[in-house]
Structure 1
Amino acid sequence: MKINHKLRLQLLMQNSFFVILFLVLVSLVGYLSREYHVARDITQSNRNILTEGSINVLKQMKGDVNVTVFASEDNTAHGENYRKGVRDFISRFQRTKPNIHVAFVSPAAQPKLAQEAGIKAEGELVVEYQKRSEHLLPPYAEQEMTNLLVRLSRSHEKPVMYLDGHSERNLIGVKNNDLGGFGEQLQKKGFKLFNPDLTIAQDVPMNGSMLVIASPQVNVGAVEVQKIKRYLDNGGNLLWLLDDNNLHGLDEIANYIGLEVSKGMVIDGSASQYGVDPKFAFASQYGEHAITKNFMLRTMFPEARKVTAYGTDANGWKVSNIIDVAPNGWLENNPKELDAKASKAVFDEKEDVKGPTNIAVALDRIYGKKGQRVVVVGNANFLSNTHITSESNLDLGLNMVNWLAGDDSLITIQPKPLKDMNVTIPQSGWGHFWAMIVFMPIFGVSFGLFQIIIPLALLVTGVVLWWKRRKA
C-alpha cells in the first residue's frame, strides 16, 4: 500500500490520539493511587498493616497527632536510612488517621533542640497529642506505638488502687500466682498503681479510678471492710476477683452488691482437646456488654466458680452476665470429686448443673452526676503471671479495667507482637541441595536463585531467541 501525505497525516493523528489517551490513563491511575489506598498483607504476622486494636485506638482519637523524629539525613551510600524507616512505619498509622503529622529534625544540625527535647538515641520519636507528649525509642513496633497513643489518649491519671496485706494476688508481685504481669500492662496503658494501707488511712481515697480486690487468703479486718463499704457508698468503682466462695471477711460487701458465689467448680468437657486439665474452663461466648462488645476471642479460667448478682430497687444495681464458660461442661458440686483429679469427675443430674456457666458479672448504677461500676469475676487465676498470656486473657482483663475507669472508647483488642519465622536449612539430602541453589552466594554476595540465576537465564534466553530470528 502506497503511503501518501493524507494517509501519513491520518496515521499521525491516530498515533497522537493514542498517546494522549495513554497519558490521560496514566495520569488518572496516578491520581487514583494517590487519593485511594488499598493494601493486602499476606505476611504471617500481618506486619505491613495495623491490627484491629490499633485501628480502633486511632479512630477514637479526635485531634491531630504530631510526631517529631530526631534522625540524621538519609545516606543511602552508607546504608543509613533512618528517615525512610520512620516514614514506612508511621505510614501504616497514617492510612487510618491521616492527621498524623511528621516532622524531621537532624540532631547534628540542631543539637540545642535535641538537647532541650531530651533526645537520647538516633531515630527517637517525640509524639504529641492534646498537649501531652511521650518519647518512643527505636526499634519501633506497633504494640509500643499503640500503647503510647493509648496513654496519651487517657483523659485522667486516677490510679488503680489495690488491696494488700491479706495474701492477695499482688499487682506488682513476681510470683506465679501474683498479678504483676497484668499490673505492668496497666502501667504501659497509662494507669498508675497505688496501694492504700486501710489499717492506717481514714478511708479508701476517692481520687482513684477503682479498687482491686484480688482473692485475699486471710480475713479482711472489720474496720477495713467498713472503709471499703463507705467507698462503695460514695460511688467508688470495684474490681473483685475471687478464687472460691470463701469471702474472707468480705461478706458484707457481697451482700451490698447482691453477690452469690457457688461452692462448686466448673468442669469443662472440651478441655481435653486443648491438652489441659478439665478444671480449666474455656470461654468463647460473652454477654451483651461494653466490656465484651465485638469480643470474639477465646479465654481460659483455671478452677472457675459461678457468680450471680441481683439488682434490686433498694441497691439500684443493673446486673449483666458477661462470661459464659464450658458449654460442654458442668458445675461440679460434689466436693469429693473436686478434691480428686478432675478427670475422674462425672456429671450427676441430681447435684450438678449443666453448662454453660456464668463466671463474671458487671454491675452499674447511677450515682450523682456520674455512674458507678463494679465487676466481679469468679476467678483470679486467669490474670496471674502464669496465665496472663494464655489465650486472650490479657485483652479481657484490660477491657474490664478500661470500663471501670470510664474509658469506654479505649475498650479494644490489644495489638499482638510480631512473630518471625526462621528458615532452617537441612544439613543433607535434596532439601540441602535446593537450599544451596536458592541461597547460593555468587561473587561473594548471597543473591541466590531468584536474584541472579533466574534473571540471568531469562536474559540469555532472550538473546538466543533474538539471534535466531535475526538469522532466519
Structure 2
Amino acid sequence: MRRLDRWLVLLGLLVATGCIGFLSTRHTWTADWSRGARASLAPESVAVLDTLHGPVEVVGYLSPTGPLSEQIAAVIERYTREKKDLTLSFVDPDLDPAASRQLGIAGDGALLVRYQGREQRVESPINERNLSNALERLARGGERVVAFVTGDGERQPDGRANADLGTFMTQVERRGIRAVPLNFSQTRGVPDHTDLVVLASPTSSLPADSVAALVDYVHGGGNLLWLTEPGNEDFGTGPLADVLGVRVLPGVLVDGQGSTLNVNDPRMVVLGDYPFHAITRGFRESTLFPQVSGLAQVSDHDWAVVPFLRSGERSWTAFGGIDNARPSTIAFHPEAGELKGPLDFGFALNRLSPSPDRNEQRAVVIGDGDFLSNTYIGNGGNRALGERVLDWLLGDDVLVDLPTRGAPDRVISLSQDGLNAISFGFLIALPVTLLGLGVGIAWRRRRR
C-alpha cells in the first residue's frame, strides 16, 4: 500500500510539472528587479502607448538574422509587455529591394512604425527614446502647424544665422511639428489650421495691423508663444501684453549666481532650479539665458498665470549701459528704479478657450529668445526646455524627452578625502603590507 502511495505521489508530481510546463507556453509573467526598473519602459513611454487605441505595427528593414535585429527585438519586447497588439516584423532589404528604394532605405537598419494608416520612421540609434518619439508623433494624429510671425526682423525658424532658430526647429520637426512663415502684410489674420503662433523677438516695431491680428487671434482662443527681449517693450506690442495680462519690465535682468558656474557676465542668467509647472516638472538640467527681460503679472485678468522661469536672489533689473569689457563691475542702483530679484521672466498662461473648438487656451511669454537660437541651443538643457514649452502649448502634456536610464553604479562619486584614502591605500599601505607579509614569511622559513 505504501509503495502504491509513492507511485501516486510521483505520478501527481509528473502531472503537475507537465501542467506548469503547458501553462508557461500560454502565459508569461515578467518581474523587473533592476534598480529604478530600468529594464522596463519609462512612465512617459507607457503614457504614450495608452493614447494609441488599436494595433501598432513595427517593421524593421534589415536582415532578420543579424545582430541589430536582436537588439531591436529586445527594445520592442518592453513595449509588447505594455501593449499586446504591438507587433514586430522584419523585411530583408536584399529580398525586397523595390520596397527599400521606395522608402529611401539605403543599407541596413531602418525601422518604421505604422498606426491607423500613418507611419513614422524611427531615428537612429534605435532605442526607447527615439521609438517613443515616433509613437508620440503618430499619437498626435498628424503634423502640428506652428506659424512664425515674419516681416519685422523676427528670428527665422529655418534660418542659419546665429540669432535664428533653424537648429532647434530642425530637431523638433522630427517630432511631428512643422514650422511655416506668417507675414501679416501678405495675409489677413492667422489661418484656421494653425495650432500655434510664435512671435520670436522682433527687431523693429510691429505695424498696428500685425499687432491687431495677434490680439484677435488670442481673443479667438489661439495658442501663442511670445519671445521678447530687453528694449522690445516699445515695439508696439503693448496691446498684446494687455490682452495677456503681463508687462515687460524695462532694463536687462542681471544675476550674480552665474559666477558659481564660471559665467563671468551677469547678463547671462543661469538656472538650475525652476518653479513648479507642467513644463518644468521633473526637469533638472541647467539652462542659459543671455540678455533677459523681467516680466510682471497684471491683476484682474481671466488668465491663470504661473511663473516657470525665475532669477536668483542676487538678481536685479539693470538700467543704462553696461561696460562689455567689464560686465562684472555692474552694481545695483535702487534709487534709479531698478528692481531687486528674484524676478520672473517666464510665464505660462491658460484659461478656458473662447473658441468652441477647443477646451483650453494656452500661452507662454519668455523674456529671452536667445536661449533657443543657433548660438545657444546646445547649452545645457536649452533644447529640452524649448521642446517642453512647445509640447505644453500644443496640448501634448506627455513629454517623451527621455533621459538615458543606465545602471546606477556606472559612475563612482568620491570626495577628496575618499580619493586620498584610496590613493594612500593602494599606493602605500597595500604595497607595504604585501612587503611585510613577504618578509615575515621568509623569516619564518629561515628559522625552520
Residue in 2 that maps onto 1:372: 361
Q: Choose from 23, 34, 38 the match for 1:40.
A: 34
In 2, distance between residues paired with 1:147 and 1:280?
32
Structure 1 residue 119: Cα displacement: 5.2
- Alpha carbons 1:52, 1:413 under 8 Å: kept: no
Structure 1 residue 217: Cα displacement: 0.7
- Alpha carbons 2:124, 2:130 under 8 Å: kept: no
Structure 1 residue 317: Cα displacement: 2.4
Distance 1:60-1:347 versus aligned 2 partners, 3 A rule: farther
Residue in 1 that maps onto 2:217: 231
Q: Choose from 309, 320, 328 the match for 1:343.
A: 328
SS of the residue corresponding to residue 291 of structure 1 reads coil
Residue in 2 that maps onto 1:386: 375
Residue in 1 that maps onto 2:155: 169
CA deviations on 1:287-327 (whole Å, 9 max, x unpaired) are 443323343443222222211232535xx32222222222x
SS of the residue corresponding to residue 361 of structure 1 reads strand
In 2, distance between residues paired with 1:68 and 1:332?
55
Moved more, 240-249 or 344-353: 344-353
Tell me if 1:270 matches 2:263: no
- Alpha carbons 1:267, 1:279 under 8 Å: kept: yes
Distance 1:113-1:207 versus aligned 2 partners, 3 A rule: closer
Distance 1:82-1:317 versus aligned 2 partners, 3 A rule: closer
SS of the residue corresponding to residue 58 of structure 2 reads strand
SS of the residue corresponding to residue 208 of structure 1 reads coil
Aligned runs of 1:112-131 on 2, under 5 Å? 120-131=106-117
Q: Choose from 292, 304, 309 the match for 1:304.
A: 292
Tell me if 1:71 matches 2:62: yes
- Alpha carbons 1:243, 1:305 under 8 Å: kept: yes
Distance 1:214-1:110 versus aligned 2 partners, 3 A rule: closer
Structure 1 residue 120: Cα displacement: 4.5
Q: Choose from 293, 303, 322 the match for 1:317.
A: 303
Structure 1 residue 279: Cα displacement: 2.0
Number of residue pairs aligned between Structure 1 and Structure 2? 401
Structure 1 residue 98: Cα displacement: 4.8
The residue type paired with residue 395 of structure 2 is G
CA deviations on 1:340-376 (whole Å, 9 max, x unpaired) are 7331123455554443221111222331322322211
Aligned runs of 1:24-63 on 2, under 5 Å? 34-38=28-32, 40=34, 54=45, 56-63=47-54
In 1, distance between residues paired with 2:255 and 2:52?
41
Residue in 1 that maps onto 2:237: 250
Structure 1 residue 226: Cα displacement: 2.3
Structure 1 residue 242: Cα displacement: 0.9
Task: Name structure 2 gaps, 5 residues minimum.
Answer: 411-448
Structure 1 residue 276: Cα displacement: 1.0
The residue type paired with residue 291 of structure 1 is I
Distance 1:38-1:85 versus aligned 2 partners, 3 A rule: same
Structure 1 residue 39: Cα displacement: 5.3
CA deviations on 1:215-259 (whole Å, 9 max, x unpaired) are 111122222222222222322221110111423222222222232
Residue in 2 that maps onto 1:464: none
RMSD: 3.9
Residue in 1 that maps onto 2:392: 403
TM-score, normalisation: structure 2? 0.75
- Alpha carbons 2:146, 2:198 under 8 Å: kept: yes
Residue in 2 that maps onto 1:185: 171
Distance 1:302-1:418 versus aligned 2 partners, 3 A rule: farther
Distance 1:227-1:262 versus aligned 2 partners, 3 A rule: same
In 2, distance between residues paired with 1:236 and 1:197?
17
The residue type paired with residue 281 of structure 2 is K
In 1, distance between residues paired with 2:41 and 2:143?
27
Task: Name structure 1 gaps, 5 residues minimum.
Answer: 1-5, 75-79, 422-472
Residue in 1 that maps onto 2:247: 260
- Alpha carbons 1:289, 1:320 under 8 Å: kept: yes
The residue type paired with residue 55 of structure 2 is D
SS of the residue corresponding to residue 386 of structure 1 reads coil
In 2, distance between residues paired with 1:119 and 1:340?
53
Tell me if 1:83 matches 2:47: no
Tell me if 1:333 matches 2:318: yes
